[in-house]
Structure 1
Amino acid sequence: MTRLGARELAEAILDPGSRKPWDRPPPPVAEPGSAYAAELAAARERSGCDEAVITGEGLLRGRRVAFVVSEFRFLAGSIGVATADRIVAAVERATAERIPLLAAPSSGGTRMQEGTAAFVQMARITAAVMRHRAAGLPYLVYLRHPTTGGVLASWGSLGHVTAAEPGALIGFLGPRVYEALHGEPFPEGVQVAENLAAKGLVDAVVDVGELPEIASRALSVLCGEATGEAGEPADAAEEVPEDVPAWESIERSRDPDRPGVRELLRHAAVDVSVLSGTGEGEADPGLLLALARFGGVPCVVVGQDRRSQRTGHPLGPAGLRVARRGMRLARELALPLVTVVDTPGAVLSADAEERGLAGEIARCLAELTTLAVPTLGVLLGEGTGGAALALLPTDRVLCARHGWLSPLPPEGASAIVHRTVDRAAEMAQAQGVRAADLRAAGIVDRIIPERPDAAAEPVEFCARAAALVAAGLRALAGTDPAARLAARHARFAGLR
């Protein structure tokens, strides 16, 4: 694997000629004439750097950003006291000047020559990063080969968005240490970027050449700047759809060709960055988390993926934990949250019970009902059970003409009431599951027209839905947070 030096990497990411170093010469940390002093001198000669990180600022596609980049050739990128001083100073300056921070670690971890004093610096660096995040500023991480030990267990694992270099060794325990301690190699394929992405620990695996575009796209949303695209006004006249039986809508919502959240993002959003999993070791294909813009408005999107759920990946507890990651992102960076409900229901299994499905539904409801940022829900298709309810209580709710909401699939409701599934259509009609019923009950604010069916006009339908999402977000943006929360609580308290 070709390893770029720290300066080469920074130059590859930033706009040409824009890099400005922030570094000052580090203070002496080794006794003159000691073996450690000789190692430091050799590291400076070998790497061309005076410490294991470089810091500074530059432009990324015209946007001012700060950076902290490891130099692995300097004592394996290890973190000593002077290294930590440099990192913390850069993070604090980025916080004070309110600019996003990009970190590109590549390190073996703590500098053993400095022992415990170096080891505890990881807590100090973490505290600085968390102050940066608490200030509502984006923190992006690019994990490079190799990133191990205390660096991964601190500032390497705290990104709002985290990408990794293809094939990079990324792990807490260095494989050489494991083999020395246990007398056998660490299992292959575990501490590899691609495996960590599949497990929901990193969001993407990308080459350095792709990094500027990917980071710029993410920052376009994370920095929360709305563009001037107005879209449809929020108070535009609502089209009254032709009345159809509930069962017809249910059958249409189950059409395999019906567009879902992925099509909505593909056809009608821009600056889309799909994130992977919880960031904590869980992933669920049934739940999609993304950063995106609708009509120029940046937002976090949490959406149930109809195709994954219908092809062997029903929504489980991990999916709801991914949704809560999206809620945290929205809260921390003061971004509006868009939820997309489209689910035949959560997975029903012993494993889901043991991993806390019911508790995750409750925690989603708790976070969503108390989230201070603007929230907008889209009932795009099927809305079955607790999995649907978990993403529903938002400030404003849109519903596709053939979207519907029910405590159980109509077949299940029929089985409970009539001891047969044959009266499902009758149950659906009686329960008031249709978009028109939801609108009349105050559960839904606006119906998204289908002409006559989203499956027959996927691009047009997605554009129509996106325009209403953008209009809703723009209308919510100007409201007082306390008033908005009070209205949200009153809205659901008043449902009868």
Structure 2
Amino acid sequence: MTERPSARAVIALVTDDWTPEEEPAPRPADAVDGPLAWAGYGAARAGAARRTGEDESVLWGTATVGGRRCVLLAFEFGFLGGSLGRAAGDRLVAAYRAAVERRLPLVSLVATGGSRMQEGMVALAQLQRVAAETVRLRAAGVPHVAVLRDPSTGGGWATLGAGADVTLALPGAQVAFAGSRVRPADADPAAYTAEEQFAHGHVDAVVPPEALRPTLSLWLRLLAASAPGTAPVAPAPPPHALGGHGSAPGTGWEAVRRARAGSRARAGAYLDAYFEVRAAVSGDRAGGVDPGVECGFGIHDGRVVAYAAQNGGATRPAGFRTAARLIRLADRLGIPVLTLIDTPGAANDAEAERAGAGPAIAEAFAAIAAARVPVTSLLIGEGGSGGALALAAPGNTWAAPDSYFSVIAPELAAAILKRPPGQVPATADQLRLRPQDLVELGTVRGIVGQPEAPSV
């Protein structure tokens, strides 16, 4: 079995420098056998201290990562399995509060087996303390990035790890609420890995150790760029139109055909053109990932913009929930949002209904309606009914020339009206779904043009 790196080794791996905080003296009861007077607990702590050189399972201080300051805490797994007890809880609370007071992002390097049984319910109650500090951190608009090492189980995963704004994990790490010794005998071991947690929407990325420092540096740059409440947030400008036609379509059916053309620019091309650099958040934190929706943060024209982009397919419940999660996070951090709309509509198969299509769409509508930061939307292709409107900003939605927006697809409208297929184009005209129709109706602000060619 490969030896796990110490907390200080991981700190050295990801930071340019680190200054530990001076810790208070242990509580008298902890120096003996703890709050439960558990026989041998004091000796076990002393042995752990000799082996690791640490006096508790949690270390914290201030650090620089890629030139960016943060409060950083790390678990020492060699100290009683990185378990959470009263003293460790004191240190976690101190780290969270320092991040709020100093207006510095928090980085947590997690490696823990859970709560310390030798301290009983006193240990378990530390999770409530961490949850309360998480609420304070969010209310203050201070970002939190967690890195899940091996293992990240029990309450450490269910509070610090899963409660972070962005959650990264090392390859092969155990990531699960249930530790290895308390799982059902017939449990699938893959379900308890970082890779599986990523696949099911609970982790944003699996990052190899050599990429951890630049990845953390980028996230600190993206999430800590704004100071919520200090000044009005300017909206993100809509992107220029890419490729296709420079003029608006002549008929409704032409608009539909343009938007459905395989050669039309998709969300990935728009994001590449708009952002200098970007990083993705992944998953809805409810067991789902929709590859048809890209969400994250990027740098545009020197400032941070959050984005949620549909890439042309039917949007699944996980996509709406991930977009809502992204918008709520951007709102807490004072970062403007850009949404790119391109979907024939919400997925309507049985699986989507069982996964909560209706509630997920409602969540996306509510996230935009509640956002205090400005949201800018650009219709880049198909705008199919409520599945498209759920990502549209009221009063600040724009359209590309190769797009349409409709209450229903013209084929479905014709079918409902019992019209023959030959009447579909005429039905498209009646729906007034062209970009210029949408401007006239007041449902979009305007039609974006293509970028001007540089003068020679």
TM-score (norm 1): 0.83
Deviation at 1:88, TM superposition (A): 0.7
Alignment of 1:145-164 (within 5 A): 145-164=150-169
| Residues 339-389 of structure 1: CA deviation (Å, up to 9, x unaligned) | 111001111223333333233323322331232111101101000111011
Match of 2:449 in 1: 449
CA contact (8 A) 1:25 1:50 kept: no
Match of 1:284 in 2: 290
Question: For residues 161 and 128 of structure 1, what CA distance do their matches in structure 2 show?
Answer: 16
Q: Do structure 1's residue 137 and structure 2's residue 138 form an aligned pair? A: no
CA contact (8 A) 2:237 2:376 kept: no
Match of 1:117 in 2: 122
Match of 1:357 in 2: 357
Question: For residues 258 and 240 of structure 1, what CA distance do their matches in structure 2 show?
Answer: 12
Question: For residues 237 and 23 of structure 2, what CA distance do their matches in structure 1 show?
Answer: 53
Q: Do structure 1's residue 126 and structure 2's residue 131 form an aligned pair? A: yes
Match of 2:222 in 1: 221
Deviation at 1:211, TM superposition (A): 1.5
Q: Do structure 1's residue 186 and structure 2's residue 187 form an aligned pair? A: yes
Question: For residues 10 and 394 of structure 2, what CA distance do their matches in structure 1 show?
Answer: 42
Question: For residues 57 and 49 of structure 1, what CA distance do their matches in structure 2 show?
Answer: 18
CA contact (8 A) 2:204 2:283 kept: yes
Match of 2:374 in 1: 374
**Compared with structure 1, are the counterparts of its residues 55 and 437 closer, same or farther at alpha carbon in structure 2 (3 Å cutoff)?**
same
Deviation at 1:286, TM superposition (A): 1.9
Q: Do structure 1's residue 82 and structure 2's residue 81 form an aligned pair? A: no
Report the residue type matching 1:9 in the other structure: V
Question: For residues 82 and 175 of structure 2, what CA distance do their matches in structure 1 show?
Answer: 14
Question: For residues 380 and 277 of structure 1, what CA distance do their matches in structure 2 show?
Answer: 23
Question: For residues 296 and 420 of structure 2, what CA distance do their matches in structure 1 show?
Answer: 40
Match of 1:4 in 2: 5
Match of 2:303 in 1: 297
Is the partner of 1:264 in helix, strand or coil?
Answer: helix
Question: For residues 255 and 249 of structure 1, what CA distance do their matches in structure 2 show?
Answer: 10
CA contact (8 A) 2:280 2:297 kept: yes
Q: Quick one: which of 171, 176, 190 aligns to 1:171?
A: 176
Deviation at 1:6, TM superposition (A): 0.7
Match of 2:412 in 1: 412
Question: For residues 25 and 436 of structure 2, what CA distance do their matches in structure 1 show?
Answer: 68
| Residues 402-424 of structure 1: CA deviation (Å, up to 9, x unaligned) | 11101121111122224323222
Report the residue type matching 2:176 in the other structure: G
Question: For residues 2 and 209 of structure 1, what CA distance do their matches in structure 2 show?
Answer: 17
**Compared with structure 1, are the counterparts of its residues 354 and 189 closer, same or farther at alpha carbon in structure 2 (3 Å cutoff)?**
closer
Question: For residues 42 and 21 of structure 2, what CA distance do their matches in structure 1 show?
Answer: 24
Q: Quick one: which of 261, 264, 268 aligns to 2:274?
A: 268
Q: Do structure 1's residue 22 and structure 2's residue 21 form an aligned pair? A: yes
Deviation at 1:395, TM superposition (A): 4.2
| Residues 83-102 of structure 1: CA deviation (Å, up to 9, x unaligned) | 11111111111111110000
Deviation at 1:51, TM superposition (A): 0.8
Q: Which runs of 5+ in 2 are unaligned?
A: 228-233
CA contact (8 A) 2:150 2:175 kept: yes
Deviation at 1:72, TM superposition (A): 0.4
Higher helix fraction (1 or 2): 1
Match of 2:206 in 1: 205
| Residues 453-472 of structure 1: CA deviation (Å, up to 9, x unaligned) | xxxxxxx69x99xxxxxxxx
Question: For residues 81 and 307 of structure 2, what CA distance do their matches in structure 1 show?
Answer: 39
Question: For residues 37 and 449 of structure 1, what CA distance do their matches in structure 2 show?
Answer: 71
Question: For residues 101 and 30 of structure 1, what CA distance do their matches in structure 2 show?
Answer: 29
| Residues 144-184 of structure 1: CA deviation (Å, up to 9, x unaligned) | 10011111121221111100010101111112122xxx5x2
CA contact (8 A) 1:22 1:90 kept: no
Alignment of 1:66-77 (within 5 A): 66-77=71-82
Question: For residues 287 and 359 of structure 2, what CA distance do their matches in structure 1 show?
Answer: 19
Q: What's the Cα RMSD here?
A: 2.6
Question: For residues 129 and 370 of structure 1, what CA distance do their matches in structure 2 show?
Answer: 21
Is the partner of 2:361 in helix, strand or coil?
Answer: helix
Alignment of 1:455-494 (within 5 A): none
Deviation at 1:26, TM superposition (A): 4.2
Question: For residues 361 and 156 of structure 1, what CA distance do their matches in structure 2 show?
Answer: 27
Q: Quick one: which of 36, 39, 42 aligns to 2:44?
A: 39
Deviation at 1:61, TM superposition (A): 1.7
Report the residue type matching 1:416 in the other structure: I
TM-score (norm 2): 0.90
Report the residue type matching 1:375 in the other structure: V
Question: For residues 395 and 84 of structure 2, what CA distance do their matches in structure 1 show?
Answer: 46
CA contact (8 A) 2:48 2:79 kept: yes
Is the partner of 1:274 in helix, strand or coil?
Answer: strand
Is the partner of 1:118 in helix, strand or coil?
Answer: helix
Question: For residues 91 and 251 of structure 1, what CA distance do their matches in structure 2 show?
Answer: 53
Q: Quick one: which of 252, 256, 274 aligns to 1:250?
A: 256
CA contact (8 A) 2:153 2:175 kept: yes
Deviation at 1:299, TM superposition (A): 1.8
Question: For residues 26 and 435 of structure 1, what CA distance do their matches in structure 2 show?
Answer: 68
Report the residue type matching 1:10 in the other structure: I
| Residues 22-60 of structure 1: CA deviation (Å, up to 9, x unaligned) | 141541404279511111111111111111011001111
CA contact (8 A) 1:305 1:342 kept: yes
Q: How many matched pairs?
A: 436
Report the residue type matching 1:176 in the other structure: R
| Percent of residue pairs identical | 36
Report the residue type matching 1:21 in the other structure: P
